[in-house]
Amino acid sequence: MLQTEEILVERYQLQRVLGKSAIRQTWLAQDLTNQEQVVVKLLTANDQLQWYDIQLFEREAKVLRQLNHLRIPQYYDDFVLERDVIYFALVQEYIAAKSIKELLASGKIFSETEVREIAIAVLKILIYLHKLNPPVLHRDIKPSNLLLDESTNKNRIYLVDFGAVQDRVAAEGATFTVVGTYGYAPLEQFGGRATPASDLYALGATLINLATGISPADLPQFDSRMQFSHLVEFNPGLIKWLQQMTEPNLEYRFGKATEALEALEINELAINNHNHKKKIIIIIKKIIKIKITRFSTLLYYQ
């Protein structure tokens, strides 16, 4: 078992555990070459380790090496560590921010504006990932894998944990390792047939979780569709958009992040126009009311 203050490969000094499971450990560490904080993810080669765990870990490192996006923690290093057991290690940029899962656990319910902002931010990340050649599918978008940095006036969203990543779309007749989280992953993903639309489903389910405070797995369903509209007071256009994001039938779900973003922006424009018209109507009513009052006053004195 690794200990606090232990130094790995003469460079990374462990500070505290961020997460732990039977075969995985995630540590906050200090890079002694530049004194910066980093995240060290470790996969333990014990008797519970499966071959596909190693495959996924190696694929994560491979994919992260090629990514270059401000909202994806940067890859720094990977190595094999030999102690009482063998550890496979991956080092990444540390983002000092809470996960959306932590914020939900604290009782936070996200407003319609916040849900829209997060949707737009994550869709822009997905556009980048899905346009790579070959496309990169995250396959595990959920509240615990989204970090919200609230340290500035403009909140920043980060997409983390590429441990379930797939770096190509399944060809006809081919399947991949089944990964994902129940409630967030669509049916085709559990069949080993993930596509870019699978990430959109997971994002939609996550946004519904933000809006309702309820895990998608706990929401009532009808024909495999989440029933949530009665729980939120959102614009009907946004509710319809979320329903299309989480449509179980691939044929009717958004196929690309660009399509989903365009539809969301059109919806937002329609809302802004509607609100603008409402403001104009309110102003006109006030003007009419003032004029009627003045006219009544003039009549009174005549």
Assign residue 199 the CATH number of its domain. 1.10.510.10
Residue 123 lies in a domain: yes
The answer to whether residues 102 and 87 belong to one domain is no
Query: Is 205 a domain residue?
Result: yes
Is 202 domain-assigned? yes
CA distances from 114 to 18, 106, 117, 162, 208 (A): 27, 16, 5, 24, 12
State whether 147 and 60 are in the same domain.
Answer: no
Residue 81 lies in a domain: yes
User: Is there a domain that residue 173 lies in?
Assistant: yes
Tokens 């959920």 belong to: 142
CA distance 119 to 47: 40
**88 in the same domain as 114:** no
Query: Could you tell me the CATH number of the domain that includes residue 37?
Result: 3.30.200.20
What are the residues whose beta carbons fall under 8 Å from the beta carbon of 256, sequence distance 6 or more?
A: 130, 196, 197
Domain edge (last residue) among 249, 265, 281: 265
For residues 20 and 63, state if they share a domain: yes
CB atoms within 10 A of CB 119: 24
Same domain, 195 and 141: yes
Nearest to 40 by CA among 57, 55, 18: 18
Asked if 221 and 155 sit in the same domain, the reply is: yes
Does 35 share its domain with 172? no
Q: Of 29-43, 91-105, 168-182, which range is least confident? A: 168-182
Interatomic CA distance for residues 58 and 138, integer angstroms: 15
Band (75; pLDDT cuts 50, 70, 90): very high
Structurally, the chain folds into a number of domains equal to 2
Of the candidates 42, 66, 93, which is a domain's last residue? 93
Is 12 a member of any domain?
Answer: yes
- Residue 84 pLDDT class (50, 70, 90 cuts): confident
Its domain, for residue 79, covers 7-93
Average of per-residue pLDDT values in the chain: 88
The pLDDT assigned to 174 comes to: 46
Same domain? For 174 and 222 the reply is yes
User: How much is the average pLDDT of 287-296?
Assistant: 58
Q: Are residues 43 and 160 in the same domain?
A: no
84 given a catalytic annotation: no
Residue 191 pLDDT class (50, 70, 90 cuts): confident
Burial class (CB in 10 A: 0-12, 13-18, 19+), 167: middle
pLDDT band for 242, please (50, 70, 90 cuts).
Answer: very high
Contact 180, 241 (CB under 8 A): no
0.95 exceeded by the pTM?
no
Q: How far apart are the first and last CA of the chain?
A: 95
Q: Which one from 53, 78, 140, 199 is the annotated catalytic residue?
A: 140
Whether 16 and 40 share a structural domain: yes
**pLDDT band at 291, cuts 50/70/90?**
low
Tell me whether residue 35 is in a domain.
Answer: yes
Of residues 234 and 178, more confidently modeled: 234
Same-domain pairing of 138 and 107? yes
pLDDT in tens, 264-287: 998 876 545 544 454 545 555 565
Residues 19 and 54 in one domain: yes
In a domain, 299, yes or no: no
What span, in angstroms and rounded, lies between the C-alpha atoms of 156 and 158?
7
